[in-house]
Structure 1
Amino acid sequence: MTTPPLCPILGVHIAAVDMKTALNYIRENLSALRGKYICISNVHTTVMSYEEESYRKVQNGAALALPDGKPLSVVCRKRGFAGADRVTGPDLMQEIFKCSREYGYRHYFYGSTPETLKLLEEKLGETYGLDIAGLESPPFRALTPEEDEAAVERINASGADFVWIGLGAPKQERWMATHEGRVQGLMIGVGAGFDYFAGNIKRAPMWMQKLSLEWFYRLLQDPKRLFKRYLITNTKFLWLIARGK
């Protein structure tokens, strides 16, 4: 299993790939990737990793840290990785969903709320005829060791090939790292991906995505939660990159 080229950005080893390369890598190496995890990395998680060593180790412990944010793929290209392009969580989910019936993939969804999971199950069944092995909304508190072990047993008993984790960053990445080798499917942390496919959140129009304005569209949808993140984190990122970090 040859690892895709890596571009270090603020200490995080970002996979300098595009969607086609990432998808082919996952499909061709799925057996070897079982028990491992993939991070969908953006400016926010990369700056957090720069500032916090333990989280940086989690990001760098992933089988892949994919460049979800457009700025990451742009930096990759400027540093000599011409094939790098944005690989968003929702786009990766969609591409894997589209080929799931052909390859017989089974899916488990861990995170979000029962209401969102119900909508997710309905819409994925209608659109993709997806083989959903299980959906689970964990409580919004730390699980006891017994509860955690029971959750792992449920996931593994489902026979899922892909275990989608929707706990939000940085919680979902830490969860995946803690469960590496215990969960038998390939774990992928997708943040708000559950909400997109459930219909709770709308994606930006394609023209905004192509102009790297999807962050602005999301900001308009949830300004109270995202304003501080985008203002502070994006400014820090630009400053650090300008300094050659």
Structure 2
Amino acid sequence: MLHAEVKEFHYSTVGHVPFAITNLEQATAWLIATSKGGPTPIAVRLANAYCVALAEGEQSYRTLLTTSGINFPDGTPVVKVMQLNCRGSQAEPGRVRGPSLFTRVLEEGQHQGLRHFFLGGSPETLAALETNVKSRFPDAEIVGSYSPPFAPISDSYVDDCAQTIEQTSAEVVWVGLGTPKQDFVASALAPRLGLPVVGVGAAFDFVAGTTREAPVWMQNSGTEWLFRFASEPRRLWKRYVFGNIRFLKAVIWPRQKH
């Protein structure tokens, strides 16, 4: 499904990546309605500045983000660029933070019997995730979870994940495998399963309690990245330093499509 086919949204391009002009409340309502509305094979990405930067340098990822599924703006820099793009119009881009979408859909989906499947993370993380979800959202229907083996994406990898999910009555699949792997897996699984498949990054770890989440005021002020950087500087410094430079380059001097 091409992003242009999702008629509920208008789009704003950041670099070469088309983002849906929406906010957390609208995205939540759309995902629940889409999941409950019958077979809808669509990959949903919570894309941020890092994704835009990766797409600038990797043709396969750029093609993925621009030709299939839908990109929601998860990240203040992306939203700020979208707001500049939309000046003078009635469009009001807002942030769709991945972990917040995850918990909001779990909460509101309780009232509609939405059935969830969790894919990714370690068995220990998934066990803690299910325990905490049941505690916070007692009526949420979790119909399965699976920790796939640590391996490159291949036909057999996708088959293994799909066959496990197909044995359940899932209506929406949440994927926590990290960027960009989860986005390629979601795009491969969505048409196979006929379901919305959503890549949510660190949401599993946050809700499971295995990774500390930034305070709400930092989430709302655009400084969440500082909290994450301070928590994991060795792992994230290249992502933020070089990634931010590539993001600015993508926004100011986007490559010609090819």
Q: With the length of structure 1 as denominator, give the TM-score of the two structures.
A: 0.93
Query: What value does the CA root-mean-square deviation take over the aligned residues?
Result: 1.9
TM-superposed CA distance for 1:227, in Å, is 0.8
Q: What stretches of structure 1 of length at least 5 have no aligned partner?
A: none
Moved more, 135-144 or 70-79: 135-144
Q: Which residue identity does 2:134 align to in structure 1?
A: G
Structure 1 residues 240 and 144: alpha-carbon distance in aligned structure 2, compared to 1, 3 A threshold: closer
Higher relative contact order (CA 8 A, sep 6+): 2
Q: 2:53 and 2:115 mapped to 1: Cα distance?
A: 34
Q: How does 1:27-176 map to 2 (within 5 A)?
A: 27-30=32-35, 31=37, 34-80=40-86, 82-129=91-138, 130-142=140-152, 145-146=155-156, 148-176=158-186
Is the contact made by 2:46 and 2:72 (CA closer than 8 Å) also made in structure 1? yes
Question: Secondary structure at 1:142's aligned position in 2?
Answer: coil
The count of aligned residue pairs is: 245
TM-superposed CA distance for 1:37, in Å, is 0.9
Q: With the length of structure 2 as denominator, give the TM-score of the two structures.
A: 0.88
Q: 1:170 and 1:163 mapped to 2: Cα distance?
A: 17
Is the contact made by 1:33 and 1:63 (CA closer than 8 Å) also made in structure 2? no
> Identity over the aligned pairs, expressed in percent?
29
Encode CA deviations 1:196-224: one digit per residue, 9 max, x unaligned.
10011222112222221000000111111
Q: State whether structure 2 residue 8 is matched by structure 1 residue 24.
A: no
Q: What stretches of structure 2 of length at least 5 have no aligned partner?
A: 1-5
Q: 1:211 and 1:144 mapped to 2: Cα distance?
A: 39
Moved over 4 A (4+): 143-147
Q: 1:51 and 1:244 mapped to 2: Cα distance?
A: 11
Q: State whether structure 2 residue 198 is matched by structure 1 residue 193.
A: no
